[in-house]
Structure 1
Amino acid sequence: MARRKTGDKSTKIRQATVDEVVEKGSSAASINAIAKRAGLAVGTLYRYHDDKEALLGSVYLTIKAEIHDAMMASAAEPGTSRDKIRAMWFAILDHASAHPRDFLFVEVIMNGLLLTKAERTRVNEMAAAAGAVIDNAIAEGVLRPRSTDAIRTLLIAPAMHIGRRSALDDKEPDMVGAEEIFDLCWQAIATPL
């Protein structure tokens, strides 16, 4: 098993992995190319990660956790359920704007990456924590009584689309358009007054 290391090398490996995958795709990315980008020996990468899949999984999970943490921090602020869900939605866009290559990395590999059982468990825990905010809004009668997965999908898909477009175009998201899209999504899921 690879030894865990900390410090600047981890940051270099993460950035090199993100850059390699965003530019070449996950299939074409190689440990050799990532090591070269990071300015490290190939053996050094293997001290941090057992293989390419472990490396991609680790970087994916780290970035996904950062997005999740930003969403949950925004939901922890005082306010109504609508305020919390809106803040979580815009936290996705904020992350895409602040870290466009990280955002694109997640987009590139999320469907093709085989996560370990522990990594899948962590992703499911993050989804459950975000889902709890939706469940609370349903319990309060703020949202229509629908499945949490359906509501989450209706909210996340447009936010991911806006974030992806912003990252690909290397410009800030159109916040006026984002507000309009959020309002349309909200109208679809909110309990009618």
Structure 2
Amino acid sequence: MARPRTGDKPKDIREATVSEIAATGSTAVSVNKIAARAGLSVGTLYRYHETKDDLLFWVFLEVKRDIHRSMMDAARECVGPAARLRAMWFALVAYGFKAPQEFLMAEMMSAEIRENIRQSGQLRDMQDAVLAEIQAGIDQKVLVQTSVRTIETILGSTAITLARRASLSGSPTGQEELDRIFTLIWRGIARADELPEQI
């Protein structure tokens, strides 16, 4: 068995798991293949994670934390819900461009993970923070009066599409086109008196 590439076993395990999920197109992955990609024995991998489900959830949660952190860090630098939501959307898209396999793996696993995992307090807290930003936009009459989940879907699905396109093509969408895309999205979710130029 080969030695770990970097000596950072958790990082090697995370990268190997993401790569294996990307290669198989499913969370029905082999722990043996993940261990081989990480340059570890299966026994060593199981010292870090008791079961395959534990491993997959750990990687999923690590990626979700990184995505969430990048969005909230971007929002903190802005004032007002319009600017904050714009910064969060661009940070989400940027993460998808920077790490498309991780981004797409997280989206795939979001649809496949069991209900008890979906109820994780950490995941719920991250989602609640994003929904609170959208709710603030509705409450301050920046966004149309509708469900926060509807607006989350409109914003998130576009970011997922852009990340998928970047992953398949090997190159991100240019800034000018991103600006056009966001302007069109904003026109669909903002109140009529909130013009795109104001954000």
TM over 0.5: yes
Structure 2 Cα separation of the partners of residues 55 and 116 of structure 1? 15
Residues 142-153 of structure 1: pairs in structure 2 closer than 5 A: 142-153=142-153
Please give the per-residue CA displacement for 1:15-48, whole angstroms capped at 9, x wherever unaligned: 1111111011335521111111111110111111
Tell me: CA distance 1:22–1:117, structure 2 relative to 1, closer, same or farther (3 Å): closer
Show the counterpart of 1:21.
21
- 1:49·1:55 contact (CA, 8 Å) conserved in 2? yes
Point out which structure has higher relative CO (alpha carbons under 8 A, 6+ apart): 1
Per the normalisation by structure 2, the TM-score is: 0.87
Structure 1 Cα separation of the partners of residues 118 and 181 of structure 2? 35
Find the residue that maps to 1:110 and give its secondary structure.
helix
Show the counterpart of 1:3.
none
- 1:74·1:87 contact (CA, 8 Å) conserved in 2? yes
Find the residue that maps to 1:146 and give its secondary structure.
coil
Residues 19-168 of structure 1: pairs in structure 2 closer than 5 A: 19-114=19-114, 116-117=116-117, 120-168=120-168
- 2:81·2:142 contact (CA, 8 Å) conserved in 1? yes
Shift of 1:186: 0.8
- 1:92·1:163 contact (CA, 8 Å) conserved in 2? no
Shift of 1:173: 2.1
**Which range is displaced more, 105-114 or 69-78?**
105-114
Please give the per-residue CA displacement for 1:126-152, whole angstroms capped at 9, x wherever unaligned: 111011111111111111121111111
| Equivalent residue letter for 2:175 | M
Per the normalisation by structure 1, the TM-score is: 0.89
- Name the % identity: 38
- 2:104·2:160 contact (CA, 8 Å) conserved in 1? no
Please give the per-residue CA displacement for 1:79-127, whole angstroms capped at 9, x wherever unaligned: 2321110110011111111112212322333322226448633222111
Structure 1 Cα separation of the partners of residues 105 and 113 of structure 2? 11
Shift of 1:167: 1.8
Show the counterpart of 2:196.
none
> Runs of 5+ in structure 2 lacking a partner?
1-6, 194-199
Shift of 1:169: 1.5
- 2:78·2:87 contact (CA, 8 Å) conserved in 1? no
> Runs of 5+ in structure 1 lacking a partner?
1-6
| Number of corresponding residues | 187
Structure 2 Cα separation of the partners of residues 163 and 27 of structure 1? 19
Find the residue that maps to 2:141 and give its secondary structure.
coil
